[in-house]
Amino acid sequence: MPLKIIDSFDVYHLSILDENGNIDKKLMPKISEKEIFSLYEFMLLTRIFDDKALKLQRQGRLGTYASMLGQEATIIGSSYALEKKDWMFPSFRESGAYLLRGLSPEKLFMYWGGDERGMFIPKDQNNFPVCIPVATQTLHAVGAAMASNIKNEKTAFLTYFGDGATSEGDFHEAMNFAGVFNAPVVFICQNNQFAISVPRENQTKSKTIAQKAIAYGFQGIQVDGNDVFAVYKATKDALHKARAKKGPTLIECFTYRIGDHTTADDSSKYRAKKELEYWQKKDPILRLRKYMQKNNLWSKNYEDKITKKFTDLIENSVKKYESVKPQDKEEIFKYAYSSMPKKLKEQSDYLKEVGE
């Protein structure tokens, strides 16, 4: 009875677009110029939205907000690969993916400003609301994906979470269910290296997050999360595989949180400026711009034109957000149940009676 290897595994890292804007032609996905413009523009829109949200928060015009700065390629490259009928189950750092999938910026400002109506997502958009508790949404995505198997539909499901989430039990339960039930789901880990102050290496002893998929019997891949082509390709392939009922995929997008965890955090307390500077050079938007410049797809005029277009759009949405009619007192009771129980009607009447 010799000691023998009964199985062995490889963990892949995918990178297509380098920091100087050069691509690996063999790995480059089929993508039109129009699509490249779209990717660039959604990343830029995400950054302009993000910048405005941070400014509004500092001025007391928005609540606590989670910035996406530096993670635009991960967020846009992955959500761009979704088809309209596919479903997205985000965490709380994917505002850009909501924008891409059609949610208006004013709704997002409403949500981050503390108005529940911002998370009423129009019925033609297959997006779940923001999920604040870490990793819990991964199970919802798997369940929804299992339902599509049962109903014999060819829809794919994508869920976002961070590196910290991979320590939660729910994440592992989601991965296990996905594997056992061959759920058409794609797990996108935005590995931005930090769960608030705790660095990735203190989160898990694994060398990669991607390799965690191996234990659950399906494929995991690490991609350069600041390379929009790599993220897009890996997600597109994984979604295709999911729709073909060939199993789930875990994609670890290796990126970096340039901003604080949220506006309630001060990251200068726990990380070195040098590290931040190192990652700033890997900026995902700059990288794509370099590629576009090299391929005559970019001009100063184009940049100015789209920047103005998105800045105007965001400024207009701020106006809409700030002029929206406040919720009535009764609104807070309305969505507890399908119909209001007597005790809530009484509580609502009492609140009216209290007056201002």
**Interface positions with other proteins (CB under 8 A):** 63-64, 92, 113-116, 130, 132-134, 164-165, 167-170, 195-198, 202-204, 264-265, 269-270, 326-327, 329, 331-333, 336, 343-344, 347, 351, 354-355
User: Is 291 designated active site?
Assistant: no
Please identify which of the residues 93, 261, 287, 289 carries the catalytic annotation.
Answer: 261
Long-range contacts of 322-326 (CB under 8 A, 24+ apart): 322/61, 324/106, 324/110, 324/115, 324/117
User: Residue 178 corresponds to which tokens in the numbers above?
Assistant: 């996905």
Residue with smaller CB distance to other proteins, 12 or 335: 335
- Cβ contacts of 231 within 8 Å, gap of 6 or more: 73, 74, 76, 77, 78, 223, 224, 225, 251, 253
CB of 97 to other proteins, least distance (A): 18
Please say whether the beta carbons of 15 and 224 come within 8 A.
Answer: yes
* Spatial separation of the C-alpha atoms in residues 281 and 296, rounded to whole Å: 22
Please identify which of the residues 13, 117, 270, 335 carries the catalytic annotation.
Answer: 270
E strand map for the chain = 12-14, 87-89, 157-162, 185-191, 194-195, 198-199, 219-224, 249-254
* Spatial separation of the C-alpha atoms in residues 301 and 298, rounded to whole Å: 8
CB of 333 to other proteins, least distance (A): 6
User: Is 261 designated active site?
Assistant: yes
Q: In Å, how far from its chain's centre is CA 329?
A: 33
Residue with smaller CB distance to other proteins, 203 or 235: 203
- Cβ contacts of 30 within 8 Å, gap of 6 or more: none
Residue with smaller CB distance to other proteins, 199 or 299: 199
CB of 136 to other proteins, least distance (A): 8
* Spatial separation of the C-alpha atoms in residues 205 and 100, rounded to whole Å: 35
Residue with smaller CB distance to other proteins, 80 or 321: 321
Residue with smaller CB distance to other proteins, 2 or 60: 60
CB of 69 to other proteins, least distance (A): 19
Residue with smaller CB distance to other proteins, 11 or 324: 324
User: Is 13 designated active site?
Assistant: no
Please identify which of the residues 101, 257, 287, 289 carries the catalytic annotation.
Answer: 257
What residues pair up with 29 in beta bridges, in sequence order? none
CB of 332 to other proteins, least distance (A): 5
If one counts every other C-beta atom within 10 angstroms of the C-beta of residue 299, the result is 11
Residue identified by tokens 């060398």 is 207
CB of 194 to other proteins, least distance (A): 10
Positive/negative CA dihedral, 156, 160, 163, 165: negative
**Looking at the annotation, which residues are catalytic?**
257, 261, 270
